[in-house]
Amino acid sequence: YKVYDIGVMCTCEDILAAARENKVDIIGLSGLITPSLDEMVVVAKALKKEGFNVPLLIGGATTSKQHTAVKISPSFGTLEHPVVHVLDASRAVTVVSSLLSDDKLGYAEDVLEEYEEVREDYFAGMAERKFLSVAR
């Protein structure tokens, strides 16, 4: 696979421009600091708005499957272009191979089903929480 590394702390516009210019098959985002988590949601929404139809990989130290399923995937993920959390870079090749294989839809379906379960568990946990007022 050919990887285009456009650097760190790239703007959403730069990411989309590089993806267009290089006619990429997959876009990968890596988040090493907490503020990048929110920026990944911004990028996912921009990909949808701009009509991109490629899978989106999410990885990096601050990312998680739960954040990907709850915050990022609903903004962009579909069977045709799922959003997939990749635990670490060593697993990216396997994920990319699955996303570019003849069974891409089967793989994407499995990911979307798993993320739906993660979202259900997350929101069920939120419903069970009891919040206290800061006022005494």
- Predicted confidence (pLDDT) per residue in 104-128, tens digit: 999 999 999 999 999 999 998 888 7
Query: Mean pLDDT, to the nearest integer, of 68-72?
Result: 97
pTM of the model: 0.90
**How does the average pLDDT of the chain come out, rounded?**
93
Predicted pLDDT of residue 23: 97
End-to-end CA distance of the chain: 59
The structure tokens 């996303």 sit at 99
Helices (H), the chain: 12-22, 35-49, 65-67, 73-76, 92-99, 104-128
Tens digit of each residue's pLDDT (9 = 90 or more) over 78-96: 999 999 999 988 899 999 9
Report which secondary-structure segment, H or E, holds 29.
strand 27-30
Given pLDDT bands bounded at 50, 70 and 90, which one contains residue 136?
low
Nearest to 86 by CA among 99, 74, 75, 76: 99
